[in-house]
Structure 1
Amino acid sequence: MVIELGLSAFAAVVLAGGQGSRLGGVDKASIEVDGRTLLEHALDAVIDASEVVVVGHQVPTDRPVTFVREEPRFGGPAAGLLTGRDMLLRRFPTIAVLAVDMPRLAPGTFRRLHEAAVGHEGAVLADTAGRRQLALVVETARLDAVRPDHEGQHGMSVRALLEPLDLVEGAPLGDEARDIDTWSDLRDLAGQDEPRPEGRSLD
Protein backbone atom coordinates (compact mmCIF):
# COMPACT_ATOMS: atom_id res chain seq x y z
CA MET A 1 0.00 0.00 0.00
CA VAL A 2 0.96 3.64 -0.38
CA ILE A 3 -0.30 6.77 1.32
CA GLU A 4 -3.41 8.12 -0.37
CA LEU A 5 -4.55 11.66 -1.02
CA GLY A 6 -6.99 13.08 1.51
CA LEU A 7 -5.54 11.41 4.60
CA SER A 8 -6.70 13.25 7.72
CA ALA A 9 -6.27 11.08 10.82
CA PHE A 10 -2.81 10.10 12.00
CA ALA A 11 -0.98 9.22 15.21
CA ALA A 12 2.29 10.67 16.49
CA VAL A 13 5.24 9.28 18.43
CA VAL A 14 7.52 11.80 20.15
CA LEU A 15 10.98 10.39 20.92
CA ALA A 16 12.07 11.92 24.23
CA GLY A 17 13.90 9.05 25.89
CA GLY A 18 17.51 9.85 25.05
CA GLN A 19 20.14 10.10 27.77
CA GLY A 20 21.17 13.67 26.90
CA SER A 21 24.81 12.74 27.48
CA ARG A 22 26.17 15.88 25.79
CA LEU A 23 23.92 17.96 28.04
CA GLY A 24 25.24 16.41 31.23
CA GLY A 25 22.35 13.98 31.50
CA VAL A 26 19.66 16.68 31.58
CA ASP A 27 16.23 15.54 30.44
CA LYS A 28 15.93 17.24 27.05
CA ALA A 29 12.16 17.35 27.17
CA SER A 30 12.31 19.78 30.12
CA ILE A 31 14.72 22.27 28.49
CA GLU A 32 13.07 25.58 27.66
CA VAL A 33 13.26 27.41 24.35
CA ASP A 34 11.34 30.67 23.94
CA GLY A 35 9.81 30.16 27.37
CA ARG A 36 8.37 26.72 26.61
CA THR A 37 9.78 23.25 27.12
CA LEU A 38 11.00 21.17 24.20
CA LEU A 39 8.19 18.71 24.92
CA GLU A 40 5.62 21.48 24.63
CA HIS A 41 7.13 22.53 21.30
CA ALA A 42 7.00 18.90 20.09
CA LEU A 43 3.38 18.47 21.12
CA ASP A 44 2.50 21.70 19.34
CA ALA A 45 4.14 20.36 16.17
CA VAL A 46 1.79 17.35 16.16
CA ILE A 47 -1.33 19.21 17.28
CA ASP A 48 -3.17 17.70 14.28
CA ALA A 49 -2.51 14.13 15.47
CA SER A 50 -5.50 12.18 16.75
CA GLU A 51 -3.37 10.27 19.28
CA VAL A 52 0.09 11.01 20.69
CA VAL A 53 2.56 8.77 22.51
CA VAL A 54 5.62 10.30 24.18
CA VAL A 55 8.50 7.88 24.66
CA GLY A 56 10.30 9.29 27.69
CA HIS A 57 9.89 10.45 31.28
CA GLN A 58 6.34 11.26 32.31
CA VAL A 59 5.90 14.95 33.06
CA PRO A 60 2.82 17.11 33.65
CA THR A 61 1.12 18.24 30.46
CA ASP A 62 -2.27 19.66 29.61
CA ARG A 63 -2.39 17.54 26.46
CA PRO A 64 -4.02 14.07 26.35
CA VAL A 65 -0.89 12.03 25.65
CA THR A 66 0.34 8.58 26.65
CA PHE A 67 3.81 8.27 28.21
CA VAL A 68 5.90 5.13 27.94
CA ARG A 69 9.56 4.18 28.40
CA GLU A 70 11.33 2.57 25.48
CA GLU A 71 11.88 -1.18 25.63
CA PRO A 72 14.66 -2.15 25.91
CA ARG A 73 15.63 0.82 28.09
CA PHE A 74 17.97 3.19 26.23
CA GLY A 75 17.65 0.82 23.28
CA GLY A 76 17.92 3.65 20.76
CA PRO A 77 15.49 5.57 18.57
CA ALA A 78 14.18 2.57 16.60
CA ALA A 79 13.32 0.78 19.84
CA GLY A 80 11.64 3.98 21.04
CA LEU A 81 9.63 4.34 17.84
CA LEU A 82 8.42 0.74 17.93
CA THR A 83 7.61 0.92 21.65
CA GLY A 84 5.59 4.07 21.01
CA ARG A 85 3.82 2.47 18.06
CA ASP A 86 2.83 -0.50 20.25
CA MET A 87 1.28 1.83 22.86
CA LEU A 88 -1.18 3.40 20.42
CA LEU A 89 -4.72 2.63 21.49
CA ARG A 90 -6.09 2.85 17.95
CA ARG A 91 -4.73 2.08 14.53
CA PHE A 92 -4.11 4.91 12.07
CA PRO A 93 -2.96 4.76 8.44
CA THR A 94 0.16 6.80 9.22
CA ILE A 95 2.37 7.70 12.15
CA ALA A 96 4.28 10.96 12.50
CA VAL A 97 7.62 10.57 14.26
CA LEU A 98 9.73 13.37 15.72
CA ALA A 99 12.63 13.90 18.09
CA VAL A 100 11.80 16.08 21.09
CA ASP A 101 14.88 18.26 20.54
CA MET A 102 13.73 19.91 17.29
CA PRO A 103 11.75 22.94 18.53
CA ARG A 104 11.30 24.58 15.12
CA LEU A 105 9.13 21.77 13.79
CA ALA A 106 5.54 22.89 13.31
CA PRO A 107 2.16 21.47 12.34
CA GLY A 108 2.87 22.66 8.81
CA THR A 109 5.98 20.47 8.71
CA PHE A 110 3.93 17.31 9.08
CA ARG A 111 1.19 18.54 6.75
CA ARG A 112 3.85 19.01 4.07
CA LEU A 113 5.36 15.61 4.79
CA HIS A 114 1.96 13.95 4.47
CA GLU A 115 1.39 15.72 1.17
CA ALA A 116 4.83 14.70 -0.09
CA ALA A 117 4.20 11.09 0.97
CA VAL A 118 1.21 10.61 -1.32
CA GLY A 119 2.05 7.71 -3.62
CA HIS A 120 4.89 6.56 -1.34
CA GLU A 121 5.20 4.73 1.97
CA GLY A 122 6.25 7.81 3.89
CA ALA A 123 8.21 11.03 3.81
CA VAL A 124 11.16 12.30 5.83
CA LEU A 125 12.60 15.75 6.44
CA ALA A 126 16.09 16.01 4.90
CA ASP A 127 18.46 18.93 5.43
CA THR A 128 20.35 20.75 2.68
CA ALA A 129 23.23 18.27 3.04
CA GLY A 130 20.85 15.39 2.32
CA ARG A 131 20.87 14.02 5.87
CA ARG A 132 17.52 12.52 6.86
CA GLN A 133 16.22 13.87 10.16
CA LEU A 134 14.11 12.35 12.92
CA ALA A 135 11.03 14.09 11.60
CA LEU A 136 8.96 11.89 9.32
CA VAL A 137 5.66 10.25 8.52
CA VAL A 138 5.40 6.56 7.72
CA GLU A 139 2.66 4.17 6.71
CA THR A 140 1.76 2.10 9.75
CA ALA A 141 1.26 -1.17 7.88
CA ARG A 142 4.66 -0.93 6.21
CA LEU A 143 6.37 -0.06 9.49
CA ASP A 144 4.81 -3.16 11.02
CA ALA A 145 5.95 -5.25 8.06
CA VAL A 146 9.64 -4.36 8.39
CA ARG A 147 10.04 -4.26 12.17
CA PRO A 148 12.53 -6.75 13.63
CA ASP A 149 11.91 -8.94 16.65
CA HIS A 150 12.32 -7.49 20.13
CA GLU A 151 15.98 -8.43 20.41
CA GLY A 152 16.77 -7.13 16.94
CA GLN A 153 15.49 -3.60 17.61
CA HIS A 154 18.01 -2.98 20.42
CA GLY A 155 20.56 -0.41 19.27
CA MET A 156 19.02 -0.22 15.80
CA SER A 157 18.93 3.13 14.01
CA VAL A 158 15.73 4.48 12.49
CA ARG A 159 17.60 4.68 9.18
CA ALA A 160 18.23 0.92 9.26
CA LEU A 161 14.66 0.20 10.37
CA LEU A 162 13.10 2.21 7.53
CA GLU A 163 15.70 1.45 4.85
CA PRO A 164 13.42 -1.04 3.00
CA LEU A 165 10.63 1.54 2.68
CA ASP A 166 9.90 3.97 -0.13
CA LEU A 167 10.36 7.28 1.69
CA VAL A 168 10.40 10.53 -0.23
CA GLU A 169 12.52 13.39 1.13
CA GLY A 170 11.08 16.79 2.00
CA ALA A 171 13.10 19.98 2.41
CA PRO A 172 12.88 21.98 5.65
CA LEU A 173 11.60 25.52 5.81
CA GLY A 174 13.70 27.93 7.86
CA ASP A 175 15.13 26.29 10.98
CA GLU A 176 12.85 23.24 11.03
CA ALA A 177 15.81 20.84 10.86
CA ARG A 178 17.76 22.37 13.74
CA ASP A 179 18.11 20.34 16.92
CA ILE A 180 19.56 20.81 20.41
CA ASP A 181 22.33 18.37 21.22
CA THR A 182 24.55 20.62 23.33
CA TRP A 183 24.28 23.80 25.41
CA SER A 184 26.02 25.57 22.54
CA ASP A 185 23.20 24.47 20.23
CA LEU A 186 20.72 25.97 22.67
CA ARG A 187 22.58 29.28 22.78
CA ASP A 188 22.86 29.36 18.98
CA LEU A 189 19.17 28.70 18.53
CA ALA A 190 18.20 31.33 21.09
CA GLY A 191 20.48 33.83 19.36
CA GLN A 192 19.32 32.80 15.89
CA ASP A 193 22.89 32.67 14.62
CA GLU A 194 23.76 31.42 11.15
CA PRO A 195 21.44 28.54 10.21
CA ARG A 196 22.77 25.13 11.22
CA PRO A 197 20.63 22.63 9.33
CA GLU A 198 22.04 19.43 10.78
CA GLY A 199 19.33 18.07 13.02
CA ARG A 200 18.77 14.70 14.64
CA SER A 201 19.58 12.27 11.86
CA LEU A 202 18.06 8.83 11.46
CA ASP A 203 21.36 7.23 12.43
Structure 2
Amino acid sequence: MNSPVEPAAAEGLAAIVLAGGGARRLAGLDKPMIEVGGRTLLHGVLAAVGPADPVIVVGPERAGFPGVRWTREDPPGGGPVAALATGLECVPPGATEVAVLAGDLLGVTASTVRRLRAALGAGDGALLVDEDGRRQWLAGVWRPVALRAALPARPSGAALRRVLGGLSIVEVPALRGETFDVDTPADLDRARRGARADD
Protein backbone atom coordinates (compact mmCIF):
# COMPACT_ATOMS: atom_id res chain seq x y z
CA MET A 1 0.00 0.00 0.00
CA ASN A 2 1.40 3.39 -1.01
CA SER A 3 1.92 5.99 1.69
CA PRO A 4 -0.50 8.92 1.25
CA VAL A 5 2.25 11.41 2.15
CA GLU A 6 4.79 10.21 -0.40
CA PRO A 7 3.66 12.39 -3.38
CA ALA A 8 3.62 15.54 -1.24
CA ALA A 9 7.06 14.69 0.12
CA ALA A 10 8.43 14.70 -3.44
CA GLU A 11 6.78 17.93 -4.58
CA GLY A 12 9.24 19.98 -6.63
CA LEU A 13 11.84 17.17 -6.73
CA ALA A 14 13.44 15.98 -9.96
CA ALA A 15 16.26 13.43 -10.23
CA ILE A 16 19.26 13.02 -12.49
CA VAL A 17 21.07 9.67 -12.38
CA LEU A 18 24.44 9.51 -14.13
CA ALA A 19 24.73 6.06 -15.68
CA GLY A 20 27.41 6.34 -18.33
CA GLY A 21 31.11 5.69 -18.04
CA GLY A 22 33.33 2.92 -19.30
CA ALA A 23 34.06 0.96 -16.08
CA ARG A 24 37.64 0.31 -17.17
CA ARG A 25 38.54 -1.20 -13.78
CA LEU A 26 35.69 -3.69 -14.19
CA ALA A 27 36.79 -4.88 -17.63
CA GLY A 28 34.21 -2.68 -19.33
CA LEU A 29 31.16 -4.10 -17.53
CA ASP A 30 28.01 -1.99 -17.62
CA LYS A 31 28.26 -0.96 -13.95
CA PRO A 32 24.68 0.26 -13.42
CA MET A 33 23.41 -3.09 -14.68
CA ILE A 34 25.52 -5.21 -12.32
CA GLU A 35 23.31 -7.28 -10.05
CA VAL A 36 23.83 -7.30 -6.30
CA GLY A 37 21.33 -8.95 -4.00
CA GLY A 38 18.93 -9.79 -6.81
CA ARG A 39 18.63 -6.34 -8.41
CA THR A 40 20.79 -4.09 -10.52
CA LEU A 41 22.63 -1.14 -9.02
CA LEU A 42 20.57 1.18 -11.24
CA HIS A 43 17.31 -0.29 -9.94
CA GLY A 44 18.50 0.44 -6.42
CA VAL A 45 19.36 4.06 -7.18
CA LEU A 46 16.06 4.60 -8.98
CA ALA A 47 14.22 3.20 -5.97
CA ALA A 48 15.93 5.86 -3.84
CA VAL A 49 14.51 8.65 -6.03
CA GLY A 50 11.22 6.88 -6.77
CA PRO A 51 8.88 9.78 -5.91
CA ALA A 52 10.83 12.30 -8.03
CA ASP A 53 9.30 13.62 -11.24
CA PRO A 54 10.87 13.47 -13.72
CA VAL A 55 13.55 10.85 -13.22
CA ILE A 56 16.24 11.42 -15.84
CA VAL A 57 18.94 8.85 -16.54
CA VAL A 58 21.95 10.08 -18.49
CA GLY A 59 23.60 7.21 -20.31
CA PRO A 60 22.92 4.47 -22.85
CA GLU A 61 19.28 3.39 -22.72
CA ARG A 62 18.65 0.04 -21.05
CA ALA A 63 15.48 -2.05 -21.12
CA GLY A 64 13.34 -2.67 -18.05
CA PHE A 65 13.05 0.82 -16.57
CA PRO A 66 9.54 2.14 -17.21
CA GLY A 67 8.81 5.76 -16.39
CA VAL A 68 12.42 6.88 -16.80
CA ARG A 69 13.45 9.61 -19.24
CA TRP A 70 16.67 8.67 -21.03
CA THR A 71 19.16 11.10 -22.48
CA ARG A 72 22.85 11.06 -23.42
CA GLU A 73 25.62 13.52 -22.68
CA ASP A 74 27.18 15.44 -25.55
CA PRO A 75 29.65 14.15 -26.49
CA PRO A 76 29.08 10.59 -25.23
CA GLY A 77 31.78 9.91 -22.68
CA GLY A 78 32.23 13.64 -22.02
CA GLY A 79 32.32 13.14 -18.28
CA PRO A 80 30.08 13.89 -15.31
CA VAL A 81 29.77 17.65 -15.85
CA ALA A 82 28.67 17.10 -19.45
CA ALA A 83 26.20 14.48 -18.23
CA LEU A 84 24.88 16.83 -15.54
CA ALA A 85 24.43 19.62 -18.09
CA THR A 86 22.46 17.32 -20.37
CA GLY A 87 20.32 16.05 -17.51
CA LEU A 88 19.53 19.60 -16.39
CA GLU A 89 18.14 20.36 -19.84
CA CYS A 90 15.37 17.84 -19.04
CA VAL A 91 14.54 19.26 -15.59
CA PRO A 92 11.33 21.32 -15.80
CA PRO A 93 11.18 24.93 -14.57
CA GLY A 94 8.85 23.95 -11.73
CA ALA A 95 11.45 21.72 -10.06
CA THR A 96 12.96 23.44 -7.03
CA GLU A 97 15.29 20.59 -6.08
CA VAL A 98 17.13 17.93 -8.05
CA ALA A 99 18.73 14.79 -6.67
CA VAL A 100 21.97 14.03 -8.53
CA LEU A 101 23.21 10.49 -8.00
CA ALA A 102 25.66 8.10 -9.60
CA GLY A 103 24.06 5.04 -11.12
CA ASP A 104 26.39 2.63 -9.29
CA LEU A 105 25.72 3.66 -5.69
CA LEU A 106 24.85 0.61 -3.63
CA GLY A 107 23.96 2.15 -0.28
CA VAL A 108 21.69 5.08 -1.12
CA THR A 109 18.02 4.74 -0.20
CA ALA A 110 14.90 6.87 -0.14
CA SER A 111 15.90 7.80 3.41
CA THR A 112 19.21 9.15 2.07
CA VAL A 113 17.38 11.46 -0.32
CA ARG A 114 14.99 12.62 2.41
CA ARG A 115 17.91 13.48 4.70
CA LEU A 116 19.65 15.44 1.98
CA ARG A 117 16.48 17.37 1.17
CA ALA A 118 15.90 18.16 4.82
CA ALA A 119 19.47 19.46 5.17
CA LEU A 120 19.39 21.64 2.04
CA GLY A 121 17.75 24.66 3.67
CA ALA A 122 18.90 27.88 2.01
CA GLY A 123 22.01 26.25 0.54
CA ASP A 124 22.76 25.56 -3.11
CA GLY A 125 23.30 21.88 -2.44
CA ALA A 126 23.50 19.17 0.21
CA LEU A 127 26.09 16.41 -0.23
CA LEU A 128 26.91 13.20 1.55
CA VAL A 129 30.36 13.25 3.16
CA ASP A 130 32.11 9.94 3.78
CA GLU A 131 33.90 8.88 6.96
CA ASP A 132 37.15 10.46 5.69
CA GLY A 133 35.47 13.83 5.16
CA ARG A 134 35.35 13.57 1.38
CA ARG A 135 32.43 15.18 -0.38
CA GLN A 136 30.53 12.74 -2.59
CA TRP A 137 29.78 14.88 -5.62
CA LEU A 138 27.39 12.31 -7.08
CA ALA A 139 25.33 11.81 -3.94
CA GLY A 140 23.47 15.04 -3.35
CA VAL A 141 20.40 17.23 -3.70
CA TRP A 142 20.78 20.62 -5.37
CA ARG A 143 18.93 23.76 -6.39
CA PRO A 144 18.65 23.48 -10.19
CA VAL A 145 19.11 27.25 -10.62
CA ALA A 146 22.45 27.09 -8.77
CA LEU A 147 23.67 24.16 -10.87
CA ARG A 148 22.76 25.89 -14.12
CA ALA A 149 24.57 29.07 -13.05
CA ALA A 150 27.72 27.11 -12.14
CA LEU A 151 28.03 25.11 -15.36
CA PRO A 152 30.80 26.16 -17.74
CA ALA A 153 30.08 26.97 -21.37
CA ARG A 154 32.02 23.83 -22.35
CA PRO A 155 31.26 21.15 -19.76
CA SER A 156 32.94 18.21 -21.50
CA GLY A 157 35.94 17.00 -19.52
CA ALA A 158 35.41 19.38 -16.59
CA ALA A 159 35.73 18.19 -12.97
CA LEU A 160 32.62 18.30 -10.77
CA ARG A 161 34.50 19.45 -7.67
CA ARG A 162 35.92 22.44 -9.53
CA VAL A 163 32.64 23.38 -11.17
CA LEU A 164 30.47 23.00 -8.08
CA GLY A 165 33.00 23.59 -5.30
CA GLY A 166 32.28 27.31 -5.09
CA LEU A 167 28.57 26.84 -4.35
CA SER A 168 27.03 26.98 -0.89
CA ILE A 169 27.10 23.31 0.17
CA VAL A 170 25.68 21.65 3.26
CA GLU A 171 27.67 18.57 4.24
CA VAL A 172 25.63 15.60 5.46
CA PRO A 173 27.58 12.83 7.22
CA ALA A 174 26.93 9.53 5.47
CA LEU A 175 25.61 6.55 7.34
CA ARG A 176 27.64 3.35 7.25
CA GLY A 177 27.81 1.99 3.70
CA GLU A 178 25.79 4.83 2.23
CA THR A 179 28.52 6.09 -0.10
CA PHE A 180 29.70 2.64 -1.20
CA ASP A 181 29.95 2.27 -4.96
CA VAL A 182 31.31 -0.44 -7.21
CA ASP A 183 34.52 0.55 -8.98
CA THR A 184 36.68 -2.57 -8.87
CA PRO A 185 36.28 -6.37 -8.83
CA ALA A 186 37.11 -6.27 -5.11
CA ASP A 187 34.26 -3.79 -4.55
CA LEU A 188 31.89 -6.10 -6.40
CA ASP A 189 32.97 -9.15 -4.42
CA ARG A 190 32.53 -7.24 -1.16
CA ALA A 191 29.06 -6.04 -2.19
CA ARG A 192 27.89 -9.51 -3.14
CA ARG A 193 29.26 -11.03 0.07
CA GLY A 194 27.42 -8.37 2.04
CA ALA A 195 24.19 -9.05 0.18
CA ARG A 196 24.46 -12.79 0.89
CA ALA A 197 25.10 -12.08 4.56
CA ASP A 198 21.93 -9.97 4.72
CA ASP A 199 19.75 -12.75 3.27
Task: Give TM-score scaled by structure 1 length.
Answer: 0.86
Please name the residue that 2:31 is paired with.
28
Q: How many residues align?
A: 186
Q: CA-to-partner distance for each residue in 1:56-108, whole Å, 9 max, x for gaps?
A: 11112243011111112211111111111112355401110000111210011
The aligned residue for residue 186 of structure 2 is: 184
Equivalent residue, structure 2, for 1:126: 129
The one-letter code matched in structure 2 to 1:145 is A
Match of 1:3 in 2: none
Give the aligned partner of residue 160 of structure 1.
162
The offset of 1:9, in angstroms, is 2.1
| Secondary structure in 1 matching 2:146 | helix
Instruction: Answer yes or no: is 1:69 the counterpart of 2:72.
Output: yes
Q: Return the alpha-carbon distance in structure 1 between the equivalents of residues 170 and 187 of structure 2.
A: 28
Note the C-alpha offset of 1:174. 2.1
Which residue of structure 1 lines up, in the alignment, with residue 144 of structure 2? 140
Structure 2 residues without counterparts, runs of 5 or longer: 1-8
Write the deviation string for residues 30-77 of structure 1: whole angstroms up to 9, x where unpaired: 110111011111110111212111011111224301111111221111
Note if 1:107 corresponds to 2:114: no
Contact 2:82 2:157 in 1 (8 A): yes
Check the 8 A contact 2:12/2:94 in 1, yes or no.
no
Deviation at 1:188, TM superposition (A): 0.8
SS in 1 for 2:100: strand
Q: Which residue does the alignment assign to 2:175?
A: 173
Question: Which structure is higher in helix share?
Answer: 2
Please point out which of 36, 44, 47 is paired with 1:41: 44
Distance 2:119 2:75 in 1: 33
Match of 2:5 in 1: none
Please say if 1:116 is aligned against 2:86.
Answer: no
Aligned residue in 2 for 1:51: 54
Secondary structure, aligned partner of 2:70 = strand
Partner Cα distance (1:18, 1:36) in 2: 20
- CA drift of 1:111 comes to 0.6
Secondary structure in 2 aligned to 1:192? helix
